[in-house]
Amino acid sequence: MARMVRGSLQVLAYAAFATALGFFSERPAYTYLQPDRAVIKLSVDQYGRHVGKCRRRTPAELAALPEYDRVPVVCPRRRYPVRVALRLDGRLLYDRTRAPAGLHHDGLSYIYARFVVPAGRHRLQVSLWDDGPRAAPARARAMEITLRPAQVFVIEFSSRHGVFVFR
Amino acid sequence: MQRPVPSFAAFPAPAHAPGGIVRARLHGACGSIPLHPRSAIAPAQALAGALDLHHGRDGGAGPTVSPDLLRRGRAVLRWLQSTVRHGLAPLEAWMDAAFGAAANPFHYLGALTIFFFWIVLVTGIYLYVFYHTSVHGAYASVEYLTRQQWYLGGVLRSLHRYAADAAVITLTLHLIRHFAYDHFRGAHRFSWLTGVPTLWLVAILGITGYWLVWDRLAQYLAVLTTELLDRLPVFAAPIARNFLTPDSLSDRFFTLLAFLHFLSLPLLLAGFIWLHLQRISRPVINPPRPLAVGTLLALLALALLHPAHSQGPANLASAPTTLHLDWFYLSIYPLAGHTPPAFVWTLLFASTLLLCLLPWLPRAAHAPAAVVTPRWCNGCGRCVDDCPFNAITLAPRPAAGKPRGKIAVVNPALCAACGICAGACPSSTPFRRVEELVSGIDLPDFTIDRVRTVTGQRLAALRAPVRIMVFGCRYAARVEALRSADVAVLTLPCSAMLPPSFIEYLLRRRRAEGIVITGCAAGECNYRLGNRWVEERLARRRAPYLRPNVPRERIALIWAAAGEEARVAAAVERLRRRLRSATLRTAAGAGLEAAARGGGGHG
């Protein structure tokens, strides 16, 4: 009798363990994105302009250099940070400035951001500043878009192409 | 109100120190692990008791922390530990009833975790054979296993997932239980610290495992994980940009994932598990067979009844909406989705730091480590074999002593001051005719000589035809209340501190008619191996043996946790009745013999 009780308790314990495992391994369901929402991703990599002016070496300076090192124009390494602003239907969604990568601040400035927005028709405006103090953006693009629910809309700017690409 | 640990308070002070100080130190030492969950004392009382603990010079207060703050901190920690123990107690009691103490899953949480890792490893090898490390092949290969090969690949996939989930449960309980029982400092510190990275490794293994499937859940995890990682000052370019569009992802990503999930992380995990067990003597790495079989069958049944499925192929052009998260591994992600990454990282790093700092939290006191007396240590190595924390090693004996041979050396940092070594030492025999019984290895605050002296004094004070000596354990049922006209009591740091020769000594010298030995509840020995060594010594399976000429029927062995004092009292009562009836029989026998002798004489 005692063995039967113990056996039943064991079965109960195993069943409880398996039930907990089975349940919490996928429930309760989690709603990551409401059905009427879409996602906008912004990705930018761009070099800022050099801080300071580039200078052409004189013939005497070039002659003093080893042959493999005779680069005619030298620029300071440091670059300006890159600023990107994104407006959705006229409302400012994002406005950040990112410093150049690298110990000497001479690398690319990277920007990545993700926004959850209502699906539907929107007007997007994106602007990029890469030359420090100038007020006018170096690159800008505006577009009317229609976002489907759960759609991922990507705004990409790559230093290789030099333009905003909407995908 | 102070928690009752009366045996130490009643213990006479040693000659070398004022009694008050020693009492406080011992008191503090037991106070660091206050109550068993089955004890009826409320947490509030424990808290109040904890507040009273700090009397002695070994308070452990650092020069920069105010004693009051330290005391409050300790009280909070102790209350937390007590609350957790009380919370776990009903579950443990149920498991005791279902599986028996010998196979209670709560006593094999670490071993069960390793068992689940074995299942994960074996099933993972099979899954790897069919897995394609490519953007388009990953999902398709897992689907093939799940759908077309459901009878084997599908079952093994489900088993792989559920065993990994089960490992999280047992691992978490393992951690919680060791925290609740204060097993994270002193001798446990190394195991605790090496256990912390395994938590991270297990979590990363689980997450990369879900990435490999490359379904909607994997897509969600990939985006959120890389966004989280981008907040750390590690990557120059944001790695989340690899998941911008469907064509921004390459097959190399899956090669990297496979390398992480199938090779480097499992090897690291195995390494840390190995390290985790290094400072433990005789670690239990396998659960009892019935428990292993039962658990495997439960997982198999779950895999068959509720097979694991993917959640549709990943598509980076559209975001997943509703997901079925594995909450065992992925519960941090919803938090990451709704809070700034800095908050998530702060939470994770702060939790890890707290776990790492726990072993250094000040405790009430720490009993001094065992000490070796070279003159009486013959280098037999019994203490080395019996030490539950590998705190003792054998080293070549210095030239000044015996010319050859070895000597025990104690590492004070690892010594838990349990006294098991003294119980194993062949020189810890009370039969030795010396004024002061000096053992080869002994506890400075609780010497074998004092055990002999106090036992003798307490038994000598009894005035009854049948005298019973009860040896208690500091962490088990409290035995002081059993003191009576025919019962003497002594609480030891661990019942395995008592050498079997003491039993023989007390019975043969007629100091006592019966002996009761109590200790922690079966499978819950505070010093891991104490119960086992006592049982094996009494059963003559382990040295030092209880000699065969000692009447076993005069000895009662009972494992009872704090709060189970009634069981010990019942055992004492049973032994008392047995001894009384035996005494009566002997007396009657002697009377008959005398009558017979007298009758013969008269006849």
Question: Which residue of B241, B249, B300, B330 to mutate against A (max A Cβ within 10 Å)?
Answer: B241
User: Is A25's CB within 8 Å of B294's CB?
Assistant: no
Q: What separation in angstroms does the CA of B254 have from each of B133, B211, B259?
A: 5, 9, 8
Mean pLDDT of B143-161: 96
pLDDT class of B102 with cuts at 50, 70, 90 = confident
Residues 6+ apart with CB under 8 A from B324: A26, A27, A29, A30, B217, B311
Percentage above 90 pLDDT, chain B = 65
Tell me the per-residue pLDDT of B260-292, one tens digit each, with 9 for 90 and over: 999 999 999 999 999 999 988 888 899 999 999
Question: Which residue of B115, B302, B316 to mutate against A (max A Cβ within 10 Å)?
Answer: B302
User: Is B325's CB within 8 Å of A10's CB?
Assistant: no
Smallest CA–CA distance, residue B301 to chain A, in Å, is 8
Query: Rounded to whole angstroms, how far apart are CA atoms B504 and B428?
Result: 13
Handedness of CA B524, B529, B534, B535 (dihedral sign): positive
**Which contiguous run of DSSP H or E holds residue B557?**
strand B555-559
Q: Is A17 on the interface with B (CB under 8 A)?
A: yes
Listed residue (B118, B127, B121, B128) closest to B152, CA to CA: B127
Closest Cα in chain A to B319 = A150
Average pLDDT, chain B: 85
Query: Rounded to whole angstroms, how far apart are CA atoms B276 and B306?
Result: 34
Q: Is A54 on the interface with B (CB under 8 A)?
A: no
Q: Is B293 on the interface with A (CB under 8 A)?
A: no
Of A17, A27, A110, the CB nearest to B298: A17
User: Is B325's CB within 8 Å of A108's CB?
Assistant: no
Lowest-pLDDT range of A93-107, A116-130, B129-143, B578-592: B578-592
Of B240, B299, B321, the CB nearest to A32: B321
Question: Which residue of A8, A11, A12, A26 to mutate against B (max B Cβ within 10 Å)?
Answer: A26
User: Is B294's CB within 8 Å of A20's CB?
Assistant: no
DSSP string, B79-147: HHHHHHHHHHHHHHHHHHHHH-GGG-GGG-HHHHHHHHHHHHHHHHHHHHHH---SHHHHHHHHHIIII
Length of chain A: 167
Q: What separation in angstroms does the CA of B598 have from each of A34, B583, B586, B592, B594?
A: 104, 22, 18, 9, 6
pLDDT class of B581 with cuts at 50, 70, 90 = confident
Contacts of A15 in chain B (CB under 8 A): 298
Tell me the per-residue pLDDT of A6-46, one tens digit each, with 9 for 90 and over: 899 999 999 999 999 999 999 999 999 999 999 999 999 99
Query: Rounded to whole angstroms, how far apart are CA atoms B453 and B11?
Result: 11
What is the reported pLDDT for B593? 52
pLDDT at B31 over 60: no
Mean pLDDT of B446-465: 93
Read off the amino acid at residue B300: L
| CB crowding A35-59: b at 16 or more within 10 Å, else e | eebbbbbbbbbbbbebbeeeeeeee
- Identify whether the C-beta of residue B389 lies closer than 8 Å to the C-beta of residue B191: no
First to last CA, chain B: 71
Model confidence, pTM: 0.79
Residues 6+ apart with CB under 8 A from B236: A101, A102, A107, A110
Closest Cα in chain A to B96 = A6
Q: Is B100 on the interface with A (CB under 8 A)?
A: yes
Mean pLDDT of B65-89: 85
DSSP class of residue B30 equals: H
| Residue linked to tokens 């919490």 | A24
- Identify whether the C-beta of residue B201 lies closer than 8 Å to the C-beta of residue B265: yes
DSSP string, B482-519: G-BTTEEEEEESSGGGS-HHHHHHHHHTTS-SEEEEEE
Q: Reduced to 3 states, what is the DSSP secondary structure of residue A43?
A: strand
Which class for A161: exposed (0-12), middle (13-18), buried (19 or more C-beta within 10 A)? Answer: exposed
Q: Is A47 on the interface with B (CB under 8 A)?
A: no
Angle at B267 between CA B266 and CA B269, to 5 degrees: 60
Which residues of chain B from 143 to 172 reach within 8 Å of chain A, CB to CB? 161-162, 165-166, 169
pLDDT class of B587 with cuts at 50, 70, 90 = low
Smallest CA–CA distance, residue B84 to chain A, in Å, is 20
Q: Is A44 on the interface with B (CB under 8 A)?
A: no
DSSP string, B397-428: PPTTS-SSSEEEEE-TTT-----HHHHH-TT-
What is the reported pLDDT for B311? 95
User: Is B227's CB within 8 Å of A114's CB?
Assistant: yes
Residues 6+ apart with CB under 8 A from B245: A152, A154, A167, B316, B317
Which residues of chain A from 103 to 142 reach within 8 Å of chain B, CB to CB? 107-108, 110-112, 114
Q: Reduced to 3 states, what is the DSSP secondary structure of residue A41?
A: strand
What is the reported pLDDT for B601? 34
pLDDT class of B564 with cuts at 50, 70, 90 = confident
Contacts of A101 in chain B (CB under 8 A): 236-237
- Identify whether the C-beta of residue B276 lies closer than 8 Å to the C-beta of residue B194: yes
Query: Rounded to whole angstroms, how far apart are CA atoms B534 and B516?
Result: 12
Contacts of A167 in chain B (CB under 8 A): 245
pLDDT at B65 over 50: yes
Closest Cα in chain A to B305 = A22
User: Is B324's CB within 8 Å of A43's CB?
Assistant: no
- Identify whether the C-beta of residue A154 lies closer than 8 Å to the C-beta of residue A146: no
User: Is A112's CB within 8 Å of B316's CB?
Assistant: no
A5: left (phi over 0), alpha (psi -120 to 50) or beta: alpha
Percentage above 70 pLDDT, chain A = 99
| Cis preceding linkage at B544, omega within 30 | yes
Mean pLDDT of A116-129: 95
Strands B322-323, A30-31: pairing kind: antiparallel
Closest Cα in chain B to A33 = B321
Residues 6+ apart with CB under 8 A from B381: B394, B406, B408
User: Is B223's CB within 8 Å of A101's CB?
Assistant: no
Listed residue (B120, B415, B410) closest to B265, CA to CA: B120
Smallest CA–CA distance, residue B95 to chain A, in Å, is 8
Query: Rounded to whole angstroms, how far apart are CA atoms B178 and B183?
Result: 5
Smallest CA–CA distance, residue B208 to chain A, in Å, is 16
pLDDT class of A57 with cuts at 50, 70, 90 = very high
Of B97, B298, B326, the CB nearest to A18: B298
Q: What separation in angstroms does the CA of A58 have from each of A66, B122, B249, B297?
A: 14, 71, 48, 83
What is the reported pLDDT for B7? 33
- Identify whether the C-beta of residue B499 lies closer than 8 Å to the C-beta of residue B533: no
Smallest CA–CA distance, residue A134 to chain B, in Å, is 26
